[in-house]
Structure 1
Amino acid sequence: MLDELIEKRKKALSESEQHKNRRNELNAAASTHARERNKLNGQTREFVEEAQKNKELRDQYNNEVQALKEKRNELNAKANEYFEEIESFKKDHSAFQKSSSIKEIQRQIESMEFRQQTEVFSTDKERELIDKIKHMKAAIKEQEDELEQNKELKTKLQTARDLRKEASDIHDTVTNIAELAQKHHDLMVEFYRKADQSREAADAEHKSFVEAQEAADEEHQAFITCQKELRDYDKVISGLRNKKKKTKVTKEQREVRQEAERIFQLFKGGEKLTTDDILLLQRSKLL
């Protein structure tokens, strides 16, 4: 029975070591997943911050674009008022009645310029559109040169031109700022995309962390159970060994007593005793 218990204890000890080693491995894995999760969460925060910065810049530029567009439209509206006065003059003078409306031509130019900025053309189509705008501007210039022969019209034309020039300059600024707004919008979208990716990766690492931690806890509980079994085995084995030891001592004492009684009978019979025989009798308290 003792040998059987010793074998069972060895098995329990081996299992205990296995659970302890596995627990330590899982705890190490959990720590690795936690560090990677924290790193990814840090990256996510950085990406979101960058996205927010670009969003603020985009909104700032869009607000500037809106304000500049309003200013540009006001200037074009004032210029149109002068051009309408010029058109009224042309209707009252037969020499100009066959000429196209400068206002209408300008409206067409603005429409084509807007298409050029917002639509995608092939190289040939874009060149064709640019040439058409160029010819239409030349037609306006030709009419204006003719109208400038009239002193009053010349002043109105110059004022209208100045307004158009200022509106055109603002339009160029609007285009540049709109491009900046689009640039920061694209950056915002990209940083939010990166934030989503790193957040998903962090969630995956957190899931792995939880799984490893739970598995480590299970291994630790199994280790504790094995340790309890070992303590129980140690108590039983120790008790059996002590009992065996006492039994052995009792048997030896009995054998010594029997030997001492045999020698004592020889002594009583007049046999000569050796020193060892006498010591044995004394130890057995027969002398």
Structure 2
Amino acid sequence: MLNDLIDKRKTILAESEQHKERRNELNALASQYARERNELNNQTRQFVEEAQQHKELRDKSNKDVSTLKDQRNELNEKANVLFEELEEYKKEHGNIKKGQVKDIQRQIEFLEFKQQTEAMSADKERDLVEKIKQMKQQVREQEAELEQNKEIRGKLQDARDLRKAASDLHIKVTESADLAQQHHDLMVECYRKADKSREEADARHRAFVEAQESADAEHKSFIECQKELRDYDKVISGVRTKTKKVKTVKENKSVRMEAEKIFNSFKSGEKLTTDDLLLLQRSKLI
């Protein structure tokens, strides 16, 4: 019986060590998942902050576009007024051309706006730029004709200056619009990265919870094994104590019988050895 108990205790002890080892492995794995989750969450926050910065820069560039457009349009309107006066002068002097400066200039403005706002192929954009160039050349030719008249030369120069300033502002409008689009694209990319890292962080968190729960289950099994070991230790200790007592009783009985035999021999007149005397003392017969 005692050997069976000892064998069963060894089995429970081995099982306990397995649960302990597996628990420690799962706790280490859970810690790793937690670290990775936290790193991904920090990364997500960084992406969101970066996206917010690009959003602010995009909004600022869009605001600049709006302001510059208003300024450009105001200069173009002033230039148009002067060109209208020049057209009236041409009408009065009977020198009217089919493509009037005002109309051509408005077409140029329309085409420039189309170039800025519409997506087109590189070939189509080159054709559009070439057409704008040709129309600007027409404007210069008509303006050159008007310059021959000293009375309107100053007004023509003012109109040119206004148009040049408007053209410069148009370049700034295009640059600000491009910059706004760049920041918008970067913002979208940052949000995309943030979504991806957030999904990965959520996956790590789920893995962390699963590993932690498994570790807790292994720890619970380990504790149960420890309890069983303590119970086996008590039982084994009790069996050993009982066995020892039984053995002692048997030994005492045997010693008593041997001592009584020696004592009877002593009474019959036989001599006793030192060992015989010690045995009689142990059995309390003398």
Do the structures match in fold with TM over 0.5? Answer: yes
Higher mean C-alpha deviation, range 135-144 or range 60-69: 135-144
Q: In the alignment, residue 248 of structure 2 is paired with which amino acid? A: V
Amino acid at match of 2:277: I
Instruction: Please state whether the residue corresponding to 1:95 is helix, strand or coil.
Output: coil
Any idea what SS the aligned residue of 2:75 has? helix
Q: Which amino acid aligns with 1:49?
A: E
Question: What residue is the counterpart of 2:150 in the other structure?
Answer: 151
Following superposition, the deviation at residue 179 of structure 1 comes to 1.5
What is the one-letter code of the residue matched to 1:11? T
Relative to 1, partners in 2 of residues 1:19 and 1:52: Cα closer, same or farther, differing over 3 Å? same
TM-score by length of 2: 0.94
| Stretches of 4+ aligned residues off by more than 4 angstroms | 120-124
Aligned counterpart, 1:82: 82
Q: What is the one-letter code of the residue matched to 2:44?
A: T
Aligned to 2:67: 67
Distance 1:179 1:124 in 2: 20
Query: Structure 2 matches for 1:26-45, cutoff 5 A?
Result: 26-45=26-45
**How far 1:164 moved relative to its partner?**
0.6
Sequence identity percentage: 68
State how far apart, in whole Å, the 1-side matches of 2:107 and 2:135 are: 9
The runs of 5 or more residues in structure 1 that have no matched partner are none
Q: Amino acid of the residue matched to residue 230 of structure 2?
A: R
1:72 offset after TM fit, Å?
0.5
Q: Judging changes above 3 Å, is the alpha-carbon distance between structure 1 residues 123 and 214 closer, same or farther for their aligned structure 2 residues? A: closer
Residue 201 (1) aligns with residue 200 (2): yes
Structure 2 residue aligned with 1:54 = 54
Separation in 2, partners of 1:76, 1:257: 135
Which residue of structure 2 lines up, in the alignment, with residue 266 of structure 1? 265
Deviations 1:75-131 (A, max 9, x none): 1111111122222333333222x4322111111112222333344544544343333
Judged with a 3 Å threshold, the aligned counterparts in structure 2 of structure 1 residues 229 and 204 are, in CA distance, closer, same or farther, namely: same
Query: Equivalent residue for 1:25?
Result: 25
Residues 1-287 of structure 1 mapped to structure 2, 5 A cutoff = 1-96=1-96, 98-287=97-286
Residue 155 of structure 1 aligns to which amino acid in structure 2? G
Q: Which moved more, 1:238-247 or 1:267-276?
A: 267-276
Aligned residues: 286
- The CA deviation string for residues 107-163 of structure 1, in whole angstroms up to 9 with x for no partner, is 111222233334454454434333322221121122122222333332222211111
* Residues 180-226 of structure 1 deviation map (CA, whole Å, 9 limit, x = unaligned): 22111111111111111111111111111111111111111110110
Corresponding letter in the other structure for 2:177: A
- Structure 2: state its 5+ residue gaps: none
Q: Hey, what's the Cα distance between the residues in 2 that align with 1:80 and 1:30?
A: 73
Shift of 1:9: 0.7
Structure 1 position 64, deviation (Å): 1.1
In the alignment, the residues of structure 2 paired with residue 198 and residue 239 of structure 1 have an alpha-carbon distance, to the nearest angstrom, of 61
| Counterpart Cα distance in 2 of 1:134 and 1:272 | 148
What is the rounded CA distance, in whole Å, between the counterparts of 1:280 and 1:127 in structure 2? Answer: 127
Measured on the aligned residues, the alpha-carbon RMSD in Å equals 1.7
In structure 2, the CA distance between the partners of 1:267 and 1:173, relative to structure 1 (3 Å rule), is: same
Letter in 1 for 2:273: T
Q: Give the SS at the match of 2:95.
A: helix
- Give the AA of the match of 1:41: N
User: In the aligned structure 1, how far is the partner of 2:275 from the partner of 2:128?
Assistant: 135
Please report the TM-score for the alignment, with normalisation by the length of structure 1.
Answer: 0.94
Q: 1:123 to 1:64 in 2, by over 3 A?
A: closer
SS of corresponding position for 1:270:
coil
